[in-house]
Chains A and B, each alone.
Chain A
Amino acid sequence: MKWSSLNLLLLTLAGNWTVAPRGPVLVTGESIQKPLPATTPGGIAVFDYNNDGRLDLFFPNGGALPRGPKAPNTLLRNDGNFQFSNVTAAANLSGHDYDLGAAAGDYDHDGHPDLLTLGLRGITLYRNLGNGRFTNTTAAARLDNRGRWSVAAAWFDMDNDGDLDLFVVNYVQWNPATEQVCLVAGKPDFCHPRHYAPQANALFRNNGDGTFSDISAPSGIAAHQGKGMSVAAADFDADGLTDLYVTNDRAPAFYFRNLGHGQFEECAFDRGVAVPQDGRPVSGMGVSAEDYDNDGRPDLVYTALRDETFPLYRNRGHEFEEVTGTSRLAPLTRAMAGWGIAFADLDNDGWKDILAARSDALSATGGYGAKAKEPPAWFRNQANGAFAPGAGWAALEPAMYRGLVAADLNADGCLDVVLTALQATPRLLRHPCQGAGNWLSVDVREPGARVRIGNQTRWVSSATGYASSYLGPLHFGLGPAQQVDVEVTWPDGRSRRVATATNRAIQLKP
């Protein structure tokens, strides 16, 4: 079906950002019993499934709870100029159970990005056949998350052997038969995570033959039970191996340092990223890892709930320094609750800003009422370590926002934003792209690859924000620069350096 422009509601925002609802309503299965899963959808995957150079959109969807009809997932093919076609059926991606998140990655290295969905009762791997169709290869690939509630995943090359391994973030143990009734301000609402037992995350090694091996236990990952919400994959300690940072809901975060040879060491406290420095464990939600201060190291920011702030950690090499207060993010985000989050240079000034999809974890029909709904927000990087409120989104209405991905959907050199919200249609925020700086789009696509332009460094990573995934070109805002040198280093150590004019898209291979 073609989405006619007549069907689209376009609202002009301050600063000429426009918002267009696209795709299906995110079905959560919320009821008066407030089953916990209903508060946790819905991620986004942004990837070019048909290799036509345009970024397509995938939205996992939920359904009835505790069991019942599934709301179909949706794949929207990008036809250019913000026109999208719903090609879910043709792509065979409707899904079969309650899904929350998605992760795109070319696990079989055939040049066609594949897709993993994360669900309430397991994970599903869809292999991209390269003809517009996907096929469910979960069983053939021997991927089994043992029915656990998974939320997010990262495709990453754990051992630099050239193929993508898989880390799956599992949330809590949930049994509808033992779900309690919890009251917030006298009304039934979602229960606090303390009412649910934690689970271990999962790590699967790519065997290189289309199958995977579950190495959660021997790798050391399974020894740590958490209430995982999201993951960021990056070489935080610059040792050439991709590490993992996992946020946990109302519990200390995990930092899994990659020791090589399939071994990981959890050392979040040693690195200073387990809890904020004030000692109050927070409800870690979505996470983003990028170099916001242009010192060449990936930093961390994640969302949390009201009065917890969105903690920001500056990577100092051997450990992290929490700079939520000094960056002004503490006062800016104190009254906010957030889910999806991304470092992204919205104004193309060469400094990555912070974007957040906001809303409370409680129900909009529970104790907080409509106060649970919040508008999305962005914070402008002032290039001095501090952030300030961003402009142009003030007219966006409050909703139960969850997923957020920044991506240049119309290849105009400015980052647009995709948002999901509970029981609502996804929103596409179209960047006005007026007055923004110069830019460069660098297509490398291999997770773990590092791209440097001037003092900016970015890493290719499929996991982003909350339950979401971005597999596309890396966007660089470049301010007034008209010519730049681009240096790419692939995970296997090969590197390449090219000089190029700005305001264009380039593709680089080893």
Chain B
Amino acid sequence: MKSLLLLLLAALLPAQDDPAAAAARAMREGRFADAERLYRALIKQIPQEPRLQLNLALALHSGKKYADANLAFAQFLKTNPPPGPVHLVAGLSLLKANQPCQAAPILEKAKRWQASEQVLTELADAYSACQRYPQAGAAYTEAAAKATANAGRLKRAAARAYWLARDYPAARPLFTALRPTFSNDPEFLYEFGDTLARTEGAEAGLPLLERSVELAPTLTPARGALGRALVEAGRHADAIPHLTAAAPADATLLMPLSRAYKATGRVEDAARTERQYRNSLAPQN
């Protein structure tokens, strides 16, 4: 990223040691506040020069003033819309400012300029943070295909994105391929086990979910998924401790917990838990 910024600056360097040159020098020397001040002064003198807006945006981005940088980038891109490297930096600035949903369309333009591993990864991150999981899965997969060193990490991210998108047919082959690498990763085992339990039935997911909980007993969502699968498999007594542990974080688990109580003869517990479940649903209406 630093090299990209320097490349952009080099293309815009002035020929003489004027205020613009001073601003550029401040940038090179890491004095971003000075650069910002100089560029703002220059913009007042020559407001119609878009390159000064870009330099200001880069100074602000480098100085980690992302909110201000985003305004400057938007100003520059308004008059320079063709896809280019600025879209990548502007997208990154939006990501840094925690605006992933705004970053996604900017990074889509960056992808049109260059569908590189870096651009695709940043775009996938934006989609993912914006909860656009199907698109995130596709972008991570595309990035993984271009990656050299990071392919495994990107495939893992793609599998998780598809799982979050509930696109289990897309997630499953990725999980299967990654299993040897992540066989002791409790979150991976939870996501893969949950995928198998949903697509093939509880019995298929149980070994992975049990292993996940064994490795990380505090991984509450895994305990919830394990409890659900155990109820579906008819192992009601085994399900109760897992559902009890996970229900405070996910009220929908009160329903299978109630059924597990009922199946094991704990009628009063079953009735109490069902009441809690029904109360938890009430606000939805």
A and B co-occur in one complex = yes
Residue positions of A touching B, CB distance < 8 A = 185-186, 194, 198, 225-226, 250-252, 269, 275, 277-281, 306-307, 325, 328, 330-331, 334-335
Q: Which residues of B contact A307 (CB under 8 A)?
A: 166, 168, 198
Q: Closest chain A residue to B275 by CB distance?
A: A269
Q: Which residues of A contact B231 (CB under 8 A)?
A: 277-278
Q: Which residues of A contact B169 (CB under 8 A)?
A: 335
Across the interface, do B201 and A279 meet the contact criterion of CB distance under 8 Å? no
Instruction: Name the interface size band of chain B.
Output: 20 to 34
Q: Which residues of A contact B105 (CB under 8 A)?
A: 186
Write 29 A-B pairs (CB below 8 A) sorted by A numbering.
A185-B134, A185-B135, A186-B101, A186-B104, A186-B105, A186-B130, A225-B285, A252-B281, A269-B278, A277-B255, A277-B256, A278-B228, A278-B232, A278-B252, A278-B256, A279-B228, A279-B251, A279-B253, A279-B254, A279-B255, A281-B281, A281-B284, A325-B201, A325-B202, A330-B198, A331-B199, A334-B199, A335-B167, A335-B199
A306 contact from B166, B251, B254, B278, Cβ within 8 A: B166
Query: How far is the CB of A434 from the nearest CB of chain B, in Å?
Result: 33
Across the interface, do B281 and A328 meet the contact criterion of CB distance under 8 Å? no
Across the interface, do A277 and B232 meet the contact criterion of CB distance under 8 Å? yes
- Could you tell me the distance between the alpha carbons of A252 and B285 in the complex, rounded to whole angstroms? 10
Query: How far is the CB of A53 from the nearest CB of chain B, in Å?
Result: 46
- Could you tell me the distance between the alpha carbons of A325 and B233 in the complex, rounded to whole angstroms? 9
- Could you tell me the distance between the alpha carbons of A198 and B200 in the complex, rounded to whole angstroms? 35
Across the interface, do B278 and A251 meet the contact criterion of CB distance under 8 Å? no
Query: How far is the CB of B248 from the nearest CB of chain A, in Å?
Result: 14
**B132 within 8 A of partner (CB):** yes
Number of A-B contacts (CB under 8 A): 65
**B274 within 8 A of partner (CB):** yes
Across the interface, do B200 and A331 meet the contact criterion of CB distance under 8 Å? yes
Q: Which residues of B contact A275 (CB under 8 A)?
A: 255
Question: A277-B232, A278-B255, A279-B252 given as contacts; is B281 within 8 A of A330 (CB)?
Answer: no
Question: A275-B255, A277-B255 given as contacts; is B198 within 8 A of A185 (CB)?
Answer: no
17 more A-B residue pairs beyond the given contacts A307-B198, A330-B198, with a C-beta to C-beta distance below 8 A: A186-B101, A186-B104, A186-B132, A225-B285, A252-B281, A278-B232, A278-B256, A279-B277, A280-B252, A281-B284, A307-B166, A325-B232, A328-B201, A330-B201, A331-B199, A331-B201, A335-B199
**B259 within 8 A of partner (CB):** yes
Q: Which residues of B contact A278 (CB under 8 A)?
A: 228, 231-232, 252, 255-256
- Could you tell me the distance between the alpha carbons of A177 and B101 in the complex, rounded to whole angstroms? 27
- Could you tell me the distance between the alpha carbons of A307 and B194 in the complex, rounded to whole angstroms? 12
- Could you tell me the distance between the alpha carbons of A279 and B231 in the complex, rounded to whole angstroms? 11
Across the interface, do B198 and A194 meet the contact criterion of CB distance under 8 Å? no
Question: A186-B130, A325-B202, A334-B199 given as contacts; is B284 within 8 A of A251 (CB)?
Answer: yes
- Could you tell me the distance between the alpha carbons of A211 and B251 in the complex, rounded to whole angstroms? 46
Q: Closest chain B residue to A307 by CB distance?
A: B166
A334 contact from B104, B130, B198, Cβ within 8 A: B198
Query: How far is the CB of B203 from the nearest CB of chain A, in Å?
Result: 9
Q: Which residues of B contact A225 (CB under 8 A)?
A: 285
- Could you tell me the distance between the alpha carbons of A278 and B167 in the complex, rounded to whole angstroms? 19
Q: Which residues of B contact A226 (CB under 8 A)?
A: 285
- Could you tell me the distance between the alpha carbons of A307 and B165 in the complex, rounded to whole angstroms? 10
| Residues from 133 to 188 in B contacting A, C-beta threshold 8 Å | 134-135, 166-169
Query: How far is the CB of A386 from the nearest CB of chain B, in Å?
Result: 11
Across the interface, do A251 and B285 meet the contact criterion of CB distance under 8 Å? yes
Q: Which residues of B contact A331 (CB under 8 A)?
A: 198-201
